[in-house]
Amino acid sequence: MSEKKVRVAILGATGAVGTELIALLQERQFPVASLKLLASPRSAGRKISFGGESLTVEPVEEKSFQGIDLVLASAGGSTSKKWAEVAVKAGAVTIDNSSAFRMDPDVPLIVPEINPEAASQHQGIIANPNCTTILMGMAVYPLHRIQPIDRIIVATYQSASGAGARAMEEVKIQSRAILEGKEPQAEILPYPLAFNLFPHNSPLGENGYCQEEMKMVNETRKIFNAPQLRVSATCIRVPVLRAHSEAINLEFNAPFPVQKAREILSATPGVRLVEDWQKNYFPMPIEASGQDDVFVGRIRQDISHPNCLELWLSGDQIRKGAALNAIQIAELLVEKNCLKPQRIAVSV
């Protein structure tokens, strides 16, 4: 029997998400024919092991994408804007983790559990949604599918990992400094995050919402294919290393029984219902870290509105919020034969 194998490049291979992409390719036994690790010139020559081999990180350049079928990009929006088209021209499909292409009408924005059908409509670039949007969608869409949601109000509690590996390191250094009685220094994030929190520092728009908050509005509408869905988000950075949490209020078009929501979510692949009301035990970022499932719990009737439910979630920002979702999209492309067939090496 023949097996399709894919020539993969990871752009941003040395970052927090890139590191997880490499681990997931192995863990999920993605059919890798070859793996090229790309980053900035700063990381050129660094060795990273993959499948028992030691691979050398290369600085990304024009010819990096020749002979590549699939690019997994997680090196920031400006890097993606610069290289995604080059990769497409070279014949590769790019799954991009940045926000550069997410709202482009020609670019599918995919959470495989929600809108896998969009994968076959790509023109070379597929966008991986914002982490908070993916995690919220995982918990909310299974309910929306059964009974339409009119309005979502969400507050996020976002970990340092969303700002990259260097931000995670910065929080550890700040924590040590504070415990030693020293002044914490902030270079990657705008303010000290250790023992602190602050509203998300993405640029503010004229409506008073920051870009991160508007991503939750616009991306959720696109993924759910619900342009009228009303969403209001408040995004907060908290001193947690790698899992985000969210407090979500859902307004349906009619009452939605709590028990029905529990039943639906406990049967949803990729969602884990985590609730022990006796022990006051619910999803926590420390337990969701490193896990594939989005932990959802504390589902309750909103006492202020008969059509509303409250729920709480924690989910690993680097895995389902980024790298895992990207790998699942890649798996979809292989399954649906949506990589350019002539570029897929076949091993017998």
Active site residues: 131, 244
Tell me which of 6, 8, 9, 13 binds ligand A2P, using CB under 6 A: 13
Shorter beta-carbon distance to ligand A2P: residue 77 or 91: 77
Residue pointed to by tokens 């507050």: 155
Site for ligand A2P in 231-290 (CB under 6 A): none
Shorter beta-carbon distance to ligand A2P: residue 31 or 239: 239
Q: What is the DSSP letter of 281?
A: B
Stretch that binds ligand A2P, among 142-150, 163-171, 177-185, 202-210 (CB under 6 A): 163-171
> Judged by CB under 6 A, does residue 325 bind ligand A2P?
no
> Judged by CB under 6 A, does residue 40 bind ligand A2P?
yes
Stretch that binds ligand A2P, among 37-45, 122-130, 138-146, 253-261 (CB under 6 A): 37-45
Shorter beta-carbon distance to ligand A2P: residue 17 or 309: 17
Tell me which of 8, 9, 35, 79 binds ligand A2P, using CB under 6 A: 79
Tell me which of 1, 2, 29, 42 binds ligand A2P, using CB under 6 A: 42
> Judged by CB under 6 A, does residue 15 bind ligand A2P?
yes
The pair phi, psi for residue 172, each rounded to 5°, is -65, -45
Stretch that binds ligand A2P, among 36-44, 134-142, 315-323, 338-346 (CB under 6 A): 36-44
Strand partners, 345: 5
Task: Give the 3-state secondary structure of residue 21.
Answer: helix
> Judged by CB under 6 A, does residue 178 bind ligand A2P?
no
Under a CB-based contact definition with an 8 Å cutoff, are residues 125 and 96 in contact?
Answer: yes
The HSE-up count of residue 148 (CA atoms within 13 Å, CB side) is 9
Under a CB-based contact definition with an 8 Å cutoff, are residues 301 and 258 in contact?
Answer: yes
Min dist. Cβ of residue 234 to ligand A2P (A): 23
Complete DSSP assignment for 116-185: GGGGGG-SSEEEPPPHHHHHHHHHHHHHHHHS-EEEEEEEEEE-GGGG-HHHHHHHHHHHHHHHTTPPPP
Min dist. Cβ of residue 42 to ligand A2P (A): 4
Tell me which of 8, 18, 84, 112 binds ligand A2P, using CB under 6 A: 18
Task: Give the 3-state secondary structure of residue 202.
Answer: coil
Min dist. Cβ of residue 145 to ligand A2P (A): 32
Shorter beta-carbon distance to ligand A2P: residue 164 or 297: 164
Shorter beta-carbon distance to ligand A2P: residue 89 or 166: 166
Angle at Cα 130 formed by Cα 77 and Cα 203, nearest 5°?
60
Min dist. Cβ of residue 44 to ligand A2P (A): 8
Angle, helix 258-266 to helix 131-146, in steps of 10 degrees: 120
Tell me which of 28, 81, 166, 176 binds ligand A2P, using CB under 6 A: 166
Under a CB-based contact definition with an 8 Å cutoff, are residues 143 and 261 in contact?
Answer: yes
The rounded distance, in Å, linking the Cα atoms of 76 and 38 is: 13
The rounded distance, in Å, linking the Cα atoms of 189 and 185 is: 10
Site for ligand A2P in 107-146 (CB under 6 A): none
Min dist. Cβ of residue 316 to ligand A2P (A): 15
Residue 137: what residue type? G
The pair phi, psi for residue 206, each rounded to 5°, is -65, -25
> Judged by CB under 6 A, does residue 164 bind ligand A2P?
yes
> Judged by CB under 6 A, does residue 43 bind ligand A2P?
yes
> Judged by CB under 6 A, does residue 194 bind ligand A2P?
no
Instruction: Using alpha carbons, list the distances in angstroms from residue 168 to 62, 114, 175, 247.
Output: 31, 30, 11, 23
Under a CB-based contact definition with an 8 Å cutoff, are residues 7 and 66 in contact?
Answer: no
Nearest to 328 by CA among 5, 27, 11: 27
Interface with ligand A2P (CB under 6 A): 12-18, 39-40, 42-43, 60, 75-76, 79, 164-166
